[in-house]
Amino acid sequence: MEATASAAAASVFDHLEQAPEDPILGITVAYNKDPHPGKVNLGVGAYRTEEGKPLILNVVRRAEERLLADRSKNKEYLPITGLADFNKRSAMLILGSDSPAVVEKRLVTAQCLSGTGSLRVGAEFLARHYGVKLVFLPTPTWGNHFKVFMNAGLAVKTYRYYDNKTRGLDYEGMLEDIGAAPSGSVILLHACAHNPTGVDPTPQQWEGIRQAIRNRGHLPFFDSAYQGFASGSLDKDALAVRTFVADGGECFIAQSFAKNMGLYGERVGALSIVSKSSGVATRVESQLKLVIRPMYSNPPIHGASIVALVLGDGDLFSEWTVELKGMADRIISMRHKLYDALRARGTPGDWTHILKQIGMFSFTGLNKEQVQFMTREYRIYMTLDGRISMAGLSLKTVPLLADAIHAAVTGAKA
Ligand X SMILES: Cc1ncc(COP(=O)(O)O)c(C=O)c1O
195 part of the interface to ligand X, by CB under 6 A? yes
Q: Which one of 82, 96, 115, 249 is in contact with ligand X (CB under 6 A)?
A: 115
- Kindly state the smallest distance separating residue 278's Cβ from ligand X, in Å: 29
Cα–Cα distance, 259 to 225 (Å, whole number): 7
368-378 vs 398-410: helix axis angle to the nearest 10?
A: 130
Catalytic: which of 39, 142, 337, 403? Answer: 142
Nearer Cβ to ligand X (298/347): 298
- Kindly state the smallest distance separating residue 223's Cβ from ligand X, in Å: 5
357 part of the interface to ligand X, by CB under 6 A? no
Cα–Cα distance, 54 to 59 (Å, whole number): 15
- x/- site string to ligand X, residues 45 to 74, per CB under 6 A? x-----------------------------
Nearer Cβ to ligand X (40/258): 258
Cβ neighbours, 10 Å, residue 20: 7
User: Among this protein's residues, is 223 annotated catalytic?
Assistant: yes
- Kindly state the smallest distance separating residue 392's Cβ from ligand X, in Å: 13
Whether the link from the prior residue into 299 is cis, omega within 30° of 0, is no
114 part of the interface to ligand X, by CB under 6 A? yes
Q: What φ, ψ does residue 226 adopt, rounded to 5°?
A: -135, 30
| Closest-CA residue to 185 (of 140, 223, 217) | 217
Binding footprint of ligand X, residue count (CB under 6 A): 13
253 part of the interface to ligand X, by CB under 6 A? no
161 part of the interface to ligand X, by CB under 6 A? no
Under rule CB under 6 A, which residues in 27-46 are in contact with ligand X? 45
389 part of the interface to ligand X, by CB under 6 A? no
Catalytic: which of 170, 177, 200, 223? Answer: 223
Nearer Cβ to ligand X (254/341): 254
Nearer Cβ to ligand X (62/190): 190
116 part of the interface to ligand X, by CB under 6 A? yes
User: Among this protein's residues, is 259 annotated catalytic?
Assistant: yes
Q: Which one of 170, 177, 200, 223 is in contact with ligand X (CB under 6 A)?
A: 223
225 part of the interface to ligand X, by CB under 6 A? yes
Catalytic: which of 259, 320, 351, 403? Answer: 259
Among the residue ranges 94-102, 109-117, 271-279, 332-340, the one whose residues contact ligand X (CB under 6 A): 109-117
142 part of the interface to ligand X, by CB under 6 A? yes
- x/- site string to ligand X, residues 256 to 275, per CB under 6 A? x-x-----x----x------
Nearer Cβ to ligand X (125/373): 125
Nearer Cβ to ligand X (142/149): 142
Contact (Cβ atoms closer than 8 angstroms) between residue 379 and residue 27:
no
User: Among this protein's residues, is 142 annotated catalytic?
Assistant: yes
Binding site for ligand X (CB under 6 A): 45, 114-116, 142, 190, 195, 223, 225, 256, 258, 264, 269
- Catalytic sites, residue numbers: 142, 223, 259
